Structure 1
Amino acid sequence: MEYETVDLDEESGSVLILDQTKLPGKAEMIKLRTAKEIWDAIYLLKVRGAPAIGVAAAFGIYVLARRTAQKETDFDSFYNSFKKQKEYLDSARPTAVNLSWALNRMDQVCRQAHAEGKSVAQIVDRLGREAREIKEEDIRVCRAIGENGLSLLKPGDGILTHCNAGQLATCRYGTATAPIYLGQERGYHFHVFADETRPLLQGARLTAYELYSSGVDVTLICDNMSAMVMKNGWVNAVFVGCDRVAANGDTANKIGTSVVATVAKRYGVPFYVCAPTSTIDLDTPAGNEIKIEQRPGREVTEMWYKEPMAPQGIKVFNPAFDVTDHELITAIITEHGIARAPFWKSLAEMKNVTV
């Protein structure tokens, strides 16, 4: 885990990412230079996890703006290209709010610098500083989420997590795994159960990989085993990440999260969602208004098999995310504190905290 999930190579004018589609078999850093390469990397899950997607998008639009500025020194022409590239990158994945959040933040910086009379070259320089700040913020935010999450745990606890909301989904610490990493540093000796997370196996390929590599006591389980480990009393808390939080506290996370939340409710296990405030979308009143990304059927029928494991031509329903009802959520852990019901009030307060 000495690799950076997302980084910037100023010399070559490219975004550097750890290609997560190659894990756990191979740790490979790749360079993204063009808008198509950046879009593909986000859509094809070479970089994934809401915070990491946001950082990659910020670095990406900066790299593209720097290249545009070499040809377009007039602001109107430069900004026209900037807007097209921003909209193109924003179309890569619809559910994770951090993608549009980061791109809109970069757009605001661009327009503000122009309003201040800055040249195109100066605007590009400011965009670079903002992109680097978004990455540094992510690291600070994840650590703060970890501290807040750790306050809900005690040494020796069993923790279950779904998908990958770890270091690989962020720039460091992760969101749902941040309390685990901080506890590891402080001798808490947690035991973690990682759901494999069908159909893309982020829990098996990524969460199990990074926790095991870091010396955490982790056990991999199939998704349909979560009820058994909870019923056995082996799980004291569930920690998951999320890609979007609606104003009422409904959360969109990797498909299967709502199942885990329902099971946790049945067995009285606290269910915590770890969410940077950048994922809180107060403009979306409830989860039924969150657009859910639909993925190709081959991810279910053949992606991980030598031979297809379903009848040829079978219909496949493959949503990337589901929505967990706020009534199933014990608390939402942010960098500014822990939000509890009524979420419409506590989330608005968290969102409006200034630092």
Structure 2
Amino acid sequence: MSEIRSPALHWQGDALALLDQRLLPAETHWHRYDDADGVAQAIRDMVVRGAPAIGIAAAYGIVLAARQLGDNADPDRLRPAFATLAASRPTAVNLFWALDRMREAAATLQGQALIQALDDTACRIHQDDLAMNQRLAAFGVGLLPEGGVIYTHCNTGALATGGHGTALGVIRSAWAAGRIRGVIAGETRPWLQGSRLTSWELMQDRIPVTLVVDSAAGHLMQRGQVQAVIVGADRITANGDTANKIGTYALAVLARHHGLPFIVAAPCSTIDPARADGHSIEIEERDGAEVRRIREQQLAPHDVEVANPAFDVTPAALITAIVTEHGVIPAPDTDKMAAHLRYAESTHD
């Protein structure tokens, strides 16, 4: 069995190790999983997060389920594992894309041949994601204003993917090319991915980063301290509407008001052509305790009612461009999205 390591995931052939991103940057701790139920729980609990990384982890979860079945492994016996992993988080389409690829790999095989095919497919998903990130970043660099300071939201770097990152990958490549001056990272309540993860990743790369509370974004744009916004995506519909971490829609509205480019960076696997627009996207509602406290620190009355949507939807009309590993979709709409997917399919190896 293959062994593959990236910043957030380590496939060991017989187990999956995941970096516990809930503890960063204060503590670095890896958990080891040897069954699909454990991987599903890790996805649900946000040990691993970021749409591409969730898809990769779920693929390995299917391999683990098949390994437990051994010579008895077949597509029918794997159905419970597929269902458990599919139910772990509903909004990110990469999860379902990866599971579909694993389902196709398992369709006509049994036993050890099935296990090997699943292992090969999961490893390919993992390795392909890194290569995809680098191609996406190359297309995205030119979208960022030269000499600008770039605002980003949540975490879209190596921790959220197979390596390099999507929106943060574009930022990394733009910095290496000398195109940008620095980054502003919104803290991203309630899980604080911007403060805990994005600022940490950028500092590791010695890329100048300033951390701000989410509600400071409008003030900074008003004062001319932001030249563009770039974010990732968890699901993009056929018309270009984009579901991403809660707070993204507000940033898009602010960017439009201030005349700033608003760019979405995501792989083609994040595009869901079966959904016409963002109205049909299921938005994950998480436990209110995530807002009432941070770890053990109580921030609000323990019984206050909380609305805690994990994502929001940014209409395509507010998006300057979507960049994927196959190029740039300016001012996305249904026709442009469909043409991009056709082109991606025609160039698929």
Task: Bin the TM-score by the shorter chain.
Answer: over 0.9
SS in structure 2 opposite 1:79? coil
| Matched ranges for 1:145-164 at <5 A | 145-164=136-155
Summarize deviations over 1:301-320 as a string: whole Å, max 9, x none: 113452x2222321100000
| Separation of aligned partners in 1, 2:261 and 2:202 | 22
CA contact 2:150–2:180 (8 Å) conserved in 1: no
C-alpha contact 1:239 1:274 (8 A) present in aligned 2 = yes
Other-structure match for 2:12? 9
CA RMSD of aligned residues (A): 1.5
SS for the counterpart of 2:80 is helix
Q: Following the alignment from structure 1 to structure 2, what is the Cα–Cα distance between the partners of residues 190 and 60?
A: 40
Deviation at 1:151, TM superposition (A): 1.4
Q: Is contact 2:40–2:61 with CA below 8 Å preserved after alignment?
A: no
Amino acid at match of 2:80: K
- Structure 2 Cα separation of the partners of residues 216 and 351 of structure 1: 33
**Secondary structure in structure 2 of the residue aligned to 1:22:** coil
Which structure 2 segments of 5+ residues have no match?
Answer: none
User: Would the aligned equivalents of 1:292 and 1:322 in 2 still touch at CA under 8 Å?
Assistant: yes
Q: Aligned equivalents of 2:102 and 2:8: distance in 1? A: 20
| More divergent stretch after superposition (209-218 vs 147-156) | 147-156
Q: What residue in structure 2 maps to residue 86 of structure 1? A: 82
Amino acid at match of 1:69: G
Q: Does 1:97 align with 2:93?
A: yes
Structure 2 residue 292 is matched with structure 1 residue 301: yes
SS at match of 1:81: coil
Q: 2:328 aligns with which of 314, 323, 338?
A: 338
Q: SS in structure 1 opposite 2:32?
A: strand
1:49 maps onto 2:45 in alignment? no
Match of 1:282 among 273, 279, 287: 273
TM-score, normalising length from structure 1? 0.93
Matched, 1:239 2:230: yes
Report the secondary structure of 2:76's partner residue: helix
User: For 1:31 and 1:302, how far apart are their aligned partners in 2?
Assistant: 27
Q: Deviations over 1:217-273 (max 9, x none)?
A: 000000000011111112111100010001111100000000001000010010000
Q: The residue matched to 1:177 in structure 2 has which SS?
A: helix
1:145·1:175 contact (CA, 8 Å) conserved in 2?
A: yes
- Distance across 2 between alignment mates of 1:49 and 1:89: 15
1:312 aligned to 2:312? no
Secondary structure of 2:77's partner?
helix
d(CA) in 2 for partners of 1:131, 1:159: 34
**1:180, 1:190 within 8 Å by CA — same for their partners in 2?**
no
Match status 1:322 vs 2:312: yes
- Write the distance in 1 (CA, Å) between the matches of 2:118 and 2:58: 12
**Structure 1 equivalent of residue 36 of structure 2:** 35
Q: Residue 343 of structure 1: CA displacement?
A: 1.8
Fraction of identical pairs, as percent:
41
Other-structure match for 1:216: 207
Q: More deviation in 288-297 or 154-163?
A: 154-163
Q: Shift of residue 154 of structure 1? A: 4.7
Q: Secondary structure at the match of 1:16?
A: strand
* Aligned with 1:126 (options 101, 113, 117): 117
- For residue 8 of structure 1, what is the amino acid of its counterpart? W
Matched, 1:171 2:172: no
- C-alpha distance in 2 between matches for 1:164 and 1:342: 23
What is aligned with 2:66?
Answer: 65
Q: Secondary structure at the match of 1:273?
A: strand
CA distance in 2 between counterparts of 1:27 and 1:311 reads 31
CA separation in 2, counterparts of 1:349 and 1:171?
27
Q: 2: CA distance between counterparts of 1:214 and 1:290?
A: 35
Which position in structure 2 is the counterpart of 1:349? 339
Shift >4 Å, 4+ stretches: none
Distance 1:305 1:123 in 2: 44
Deviations 1:22-41 (CA, angstroms, capped at 9, x unpaired): 10111222211122211111
Secondary structure at 1:323's aligned position in 2? strand
SS of alignment partner, residue 299 of structure 1: helix
Moved more, 178-187 or 220-229: 178-187
What residue number does 2:103 align with?
Answer: 107
* Counterpart amino acid of residue 243 in structure 1: D
Is the 2:149–2:226 Cα contact (8 Å) retained in structure 1? yes
What are the Cα deviations for residues 144-201 of structure 1, in whole angstroms up to 9, with x where unaligned? 1111110123542110000111111101111001121112333335310000011110
Query: Which letter maps to 2:131?
Result: R
**In the comparison of the two structures, how many residue pairs are matched?**
341
Equivalent position amino acid for 2:303 in 1 = G
For 1:249, the equivalent position in structure 2 comes to 240
